[in-house]
A = this chain, B = another copy of it.
Amino acid sequence: MKSKGAGRERRSMATKAENGRKNDPQRTQENILEVATEEFSTHGLAGGRVDAIAERTRTSKRMIYYYFGSKEGLYLAVLERSYRKIRTLEADLQLSNLEPEEALRVLISTTFDHDEAHPDFVRLVSIENIHHAAHMLRSEAIRDLNVSVIETIASILERGVSQRVFTRQADPIDIHMMISAFCFFRVSNRYTFGSIFRRDLSEPSTIERHRTMIADAVIGYLKG
């Protein structure tokens, strides 16, 4: 399979120079999704234009409908792809070896850095909320994802309480919400916040300060 792929590519390099077309459905789809992610995350579902996406693609509008059926189908595919992309990152954190407080700090930093690094994702989630999460509800795949985070937090909290480093008995989902809210808001409301307070939330020193701030607040809460 690998040598086959290489052979195909080698030959296509030759034909590409003359004619220019090469059937590569996987790359075509990926290309469409990439462009569509950008379009939808900056203009929303209704504001995003299929023609605009098609133009910036190395293929044509015909292919969008060939692979994704409709504008909504494309949007849903974009959404699922975005969620699938983060699953990998969140999964392989080895937190059970760490002390509860340290484990929580690492988890919070990860969430923080993730949102900071993926504004597209944050905006897509905002857009979904405007649509009452209608598309997410139809997708089985997306829901199963975040459950693991809750389990991780639950185990950290349990250990913390039994070791007497955390005095407060808190609901894992509430804690997750508190962390998410802060990390998400910084990115989702970057523009209105920046416009009102003339503060650039993406400045390195601000990022550093906020990263430790949310951790201190959560841990302070659990120790209160």
Docked-complex contact B209 and A146, CB < 8 angstroms = no
Q: By the criterion of a CB under 8 Å from any partner CB, how many residues of chain A are at the interface?
A: 55
**Which A125-179 residues sit within 8 Å CB-CB of chain B?**
125-130, 132-133, 136-137, 142-143, 145-146, 150, 171, 173-174, 177-178
Docked-complex contact A224 and B213, CB < 8 angstroms = no
Among A1-9, A99-107, A195-203, the one that faces the other chain is A195-203
Given contacts A173-B197, A188-B126, A189-B129, contact A178 B217 (CB under 8 A): yes
Q: Which residue of B lies closest to A224 (CB)?
A: B220
Given contacts A47-B45, A182-B182, A217-B220, contact A177 B191 (CB under 8 A): no
Q: Which residues of B contact A91 (CB under 8 A)?
A: none
Bound state CA distance, A145 and B189, in angstroms?
17
Given contacts A133-B192, A171-B209, 19 further A-B contacts (CB under 8 A): A45-B47, A123-B129, A126-B189, A129-B188, A129-B191, A133-B191, A133-B194, A133-B195, A136-B191, A136-B192, A146-B196, A174-B209, A177-B185, A178-B182, A178-B217, A181-B181, A217-B220, A220-B221, A220-B223
Pairs across A and B, CB under 8 Å, 20 listed: A42-B130, A44-B130, A47-B47, A47-B130, A123-B130, A125-B189, A126-B188, A136-B191, A136-B192, A136-B195, A136-B196, A146-B196, A150-B197, A178-B213, A181-B181, A181-B186, A182-B182, A217-B220, A217-B221, A220-B221
Bound state CA distance, A46 and B46, in angstroms?
6
